[in-house]
Homo-oligomer: A and B are copies of this chain.
Amino acid sequence: MKRAAATIAIAWAFACSLAVGAQQPAGDGPRYAGTALMRPAEYREWIFLSSGLGMNYNAPAPGAPPPARQSFTNVFVNPSSYRSFMQTGKWPDKTVLVLEIRASSGNGSINKDGRFQTTVSGMEVHVKDSRFANGWEFFGFGGGKESAEPMSGQAVAECVSCHAEHGAVDNTFAQFYPTILDAARQKGTLKPGF
């Protein structure tokens, strides 16, 4: 009887460890604490999609101050989703896109023209997950915080509608990511008009 009880206890412990494993997959997808997304700690080792300098939805006002126009935006994606996109032209469930915003400098060391990247000034994350009602959610990681609830309110509503309307592939601005754009074109997954 003792041996049988021990066997059952071991089997139960094993089943529980499997259940815990299922909640937090070991891969490179999103990690949550309740409804909050955990900061993707390793994103600088993910796949780089592209960067822009001073990109803006609005034309510059005459005499606009330079800081916002001199920020770089780097976009990274988790490697497993990148490889899936290159095969299919579509983002799989559990895709994590990181937008890292960096300040820039012009004169430094031997550089005498143009801009190069310096310190991080912001970070936003866009996640595709079947757990969300709309399939995708935005998260803001300003100030170096370790977890973030989904963004809400009017500001993010504009992000959501703009991405849905103008994203070249599935709510994402694939038109600005050259290798992704090429793959989507080859696979025929670009929205009509691109």
Interface of A with B (CB < 8 Å)? 44-45, 47-48, 50-60, 69, 72, 74, 76, 79, 82, 102, 108-120, 162, 166, 168, 173, 175-176, 178-179
Question: Given that A116-B176, A117-B178, A175-B109 are known contacts, is A74 also in contact with B51, CB under 8 Å in the complex?
Answer: yes
Q: Please pick, from B45, B162, B179, the residue contacting A47 in the complex, using a CB distance under 8 A.
A: B45
Distance from A132 Cβ to chain B, minimum over Cβ atoms (Å)? 23
A114 to B48, CA, bound (A): 19
Decide: A176 and B48 in contact? CB cutoff 8 A. no
A60 to B107, CA, bound (A): 12
Decide: B52 and A162 in contact? CB cutoff 8 A. no
Q: Chain B residue with minimal CB distance to A110?
A: B166
A102 to B51, CA, bound (A): 11
Q: Chain B residue with minimal CB distance to A53?
A: B53
18 CB contacts below 8 A, A to B, read A44-B47, A44-B179, A50-B116, A51-B51, A51-B72, A54-B113, A54-B114, A55-B115, A56-B112, A56-B114, A57-B111, A57-B112, A59-B112, A102-B178, A108-B175, A111-B176, A116-B176, A118-B178
A116 to B176, CA, bound (A): 7
Distance from A104 Cβ to chain B, minimum over Cβ atoms (Å)? 8
Decide: B60 and A48 in contact? CB cutoff 8 A. no
Question: Given that A52-B115, A55-B115 are known contacts, is A109 also in contact with B45, CB under 8 Å in the complex?
Answer: no
Question: Given that A44-B179, A48-B74, A72-B51 are known contacts, is A58 also in contact with B115, CB under 8 Å in the complex?
Answer: no
Q: Chain B residue with minimal CB distance to A112?
A: B59
Decide: B116 and A52 in contact? CB cutoff 8 A. yes
Decide: B162 and A56 in contact? CB cutoff 8 A. no
Question: Given that A118-B178, A178-B102, A178-B118 are known contacts, is A113 also in contact with B47, CB under 8 Å in the complex?
Answer: no
Question: Given that A51-B51, A51-B117, A178-B102 are known contacts, is A111 also in contact with B56, CB under 8 Å in the complex?
Answer: yes
